[in-house]
Amino acid sequence: WFNFQIARNRQSFGHGVTGNLLISDNFSYEEYVRATFSSGFFNYYLDITHFDQQNSLLGFDSFRLSGKHQLRAMHRFEFTLTDSLVFSISLGSMFQSDSVFDWRLLIPLMIPHSFNDFSEDGTIKGGDEANNILGLDVSWSFAPSWMMHFEIVMDQFQLSYEKGNFMPNAFGLLLNLQNTSVIGEGLLHSYIEGVYTMPYLYLNRAKIGEDGRDYNYDWILGHGLTGGSEIQYSGYPEGPDTVKLELGSKYMFSYGLSVGGNIGFMLHGIHGIAFEETFVDIVNEGWRDEHWVTEYTLSIGLSVAYDFDFGLSLGIDAYMPCIWNYKNVEGSTSFIPQAFVFVRYSFL
């Protein structure tokens, strides 16, 4: 009924195929503490993850026991309503803390909501120490071999009496349909998934003074690593202002061979987002109206793998993205095929 972990590992919340809206497996690793309380009907997860403090868009100050650092606190309440229906509510905050242990991370309800900036000017003031996010997801096995999964997130939600207009209530939606069937002597797993994210999702636009940007309030996180920093969205890997549709299948033969493929189409920047180096900045209405074009991506993926009886797996993945209006510049294109060869061994 109770489990406690201190780990450096990968993690994800949800059953999305192309990613998840709240926490996706976007990093090489994450350093986290997780406590789980379980019963037959109800599970509660407290997940606290550390990220390095950002001193610029792609620069980091490594973690120290003193000074501010980023902490992502996620409280997840999971209800098993029936054998085929699971419903979850997740409440999360991106904290700026200068304490080794911050007791506010343990509070799952609305107190973290108060540590936010709902003023008109968007400038960081005393007490503005968090950016909250709310997520709901449902997984439903509605028929033998079939499952439907739905996610919705709301970034920096506001209550009715909070009148500030500081980027509240940005939504993201994800819906997929999955099927796993026995065909011949193997299994065929197929899916179709659609995703929509609003242009302000994961972004905060917090400022220090008039000109200084504080990136530590965005849901764009990372680590300062030797040889170069790693920075990614905490949620959906494609970020805000995205519409994506993907379908794919994978056939697993009984003797260990598996063959799969997928095809996807994505629109990026429909409502007008501006790229700043590798990530997006906030909508600039005047610039968008005069210059903006939508980026289109058609992607094809292929995979082949073989699992040996003694725990060894070998495989190759190929990914071919064709991008028009690359980075929302009219007429710019990009086509960079990629292939990955992997070797994996399991001791268990």
Please, are residues 21 and 13 in contact by the beta-carbon 8 Å criterion? no
Q: Copy the structure tokens of residue 191.
A: 């899916």
- Distant-in-sequence, close-in-space partners of 184: CB < 8 Å, separation ≥ 6: none
pLDDT reading at 220 higher than 90 = no
pLDDT of res. 273: 67
pLDDT reading at 170 higher than 90 = no
**% of the chain exceeding 70 in pLDDT:** 73
Cα–Cα dist 107/113, whole Å: 11
Cα–Cα dist 244/238, whole Å: 9
Please, are residues 176 and 19 in contact by the beta-carbon 8 Å criterion? no
Cα–Cα dist 322/310, whole Å: 39
Average pLDDT over residues 1-14: 89
pLDDT of res. 310: 84
What tens digit of pLDDT does each residue of 262-307 get?
A: 999 999 888 766 555 555 555 455 555 566 788 899 999 999 999 9
pLDDT of res. 330: 82
Selected residue with higher pLDDT from 173 and 348: 173
Cα–Cα dist 161/319, whole Å: 48
Average pLDDT over residues 135-150: 95
Alpha helices in 285-337 (DSSP H): 285-291
> What CA–CA distances, in Å, run from 252 to 163, 186, 262?
54, 5, 15
Predicted TM-score (pTM) of this structure: 0.86
pLDDT of res. 105: 74
Question: Which pLDDT band, with edges at 50, 70 and 90, does 258 fall under?
Answer: very high
Q: Which residues are registered as beta bridge partners of 304?
A: 259, 316
